[in-house]
């Protein structure tokens, strides 16, 4: 109990420092996965496809939770707002785990599209990735403040302002991520990025026909 109280007091008195530490850890995990620096297990090609679908479901749930949380706080339902936003944050953490396993142990996909469709896809994907990256410290800071202060105390902090930015940026990022997921997996189809084995092309066939 004493250790928990000490950690809570430290987080309460130095929320910016805790935000920085958590954000750096998150960035390090993602870069480590892309750079094959993490001890992640190799997964099957079918598992990569299943993880892509699971990530989309998790992100859809996170987006719904954020939008519900915004509705609750606008209608003055503070406890429900807190529950919804913590649900969204938990789903974001679940996404991170699934994403690290997928990227670190699998392969990347490239959309089978060209011209304006390809350009639109790339632009949306770039915005999605950029917003995901820059939203991390904003989201973490809002959560840290929310967990370490009472509702009355939060009025004296930057929680409301930071929370609005976090909700807007992360909602747009999640929405664009879902749009690009549907385009890639269920509209135009994909091929594995890089020189993967022909087996991947066979696996991609059913998706291209959807």
Q: Is 110 strand, coil or helix?
A: strand
Each residue's pLDDT tens digit, 188-199: 999 887 544 334
pLDDT band at 104 (very low <50, low <70, confident <90, very high): confident
Structure tokens at 181: 């997921």
Q: Which residues lie closer than 8 Å to 185 by C-beta, 6 or more apart?
A: 52, 53, 56, 109, 207, 210
Q: Is the pLDDT of residue 140 over 70?
A: yes
Is the pLDDT at 71 greater than 50, yes or no? yes
Instruction: Give the residue-averaged pLDDT of 103-121.
Output: 91
pLDDT tier for residue 5 given thresholds of 50, 70 and 90: low
pLDDT of residue 8: 63
pLDDT at 3 (0 to 100): 42
Could you tell me which residue, 28 or 13, shows the higher pLDDT? Answer: 28
* Top-confidence residue, 150 or 202: 150
Average model confidence (pLDDT) across the chain: 87
- Contact present, 51 and 57 (Cβ < 8 Å): no
The residues, ordered by sequence, that sit 6+ positions from 69 with a Cβ below 8 Å of its Cβ are 80, 81, 84, 85, 87, 88, 167
Asked if pLDDT for residue 162 goes beyond 80, the answer is yes
| Statement: residue 175 has pLDDT above 90 | yes
Q: Which domains does the chain have, with CATH numbers?
A: 45-208 (1.20.120)
């Amino acid at each position: 109990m004493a250790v928990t109280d000490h950690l809570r007091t430290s987080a309460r008195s130095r929320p910016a420092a805790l935000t920085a530490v958590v954000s750096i850890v998150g960035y390090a995990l993602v870069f480590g996965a892309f750079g094959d620096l993490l001890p992640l297990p190799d997964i099957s090609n079918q598992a990569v496809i299943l993880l892509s679908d699971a990530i989309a479901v998790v992100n859809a749930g996170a987006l719904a939770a954020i939008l519900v949380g915004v509705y609750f706080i606008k209608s003055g339902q503070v406890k429900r707002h807190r529950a919804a936003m913590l649900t969204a944050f938990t789903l974001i953490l679940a996404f991170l785990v699934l994403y690290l396993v997928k990227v670190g142990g699998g392969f990347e996909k490239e959309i089978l599209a060209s011209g304006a469709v390809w350009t639109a896809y790339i632009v949306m994907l770039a915005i999605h990735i950029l917003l995901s990256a820059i939203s991390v410290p904003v989201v973490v800071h809002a959560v840290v403040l929310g967990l370490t202060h009472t509702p009355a105390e939060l009025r004296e902090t930057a929680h409301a302002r930071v929370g609005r930015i976090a909700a807007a940026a992360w909602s747009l990022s999640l929405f664009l991520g879902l749009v690009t997921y549907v385009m890639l997996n269920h509209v135009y189809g994909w091929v594995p990025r890089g020189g993967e084995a022909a087996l991947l092309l066979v696996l991609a066939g059913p998706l291209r026909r959807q």
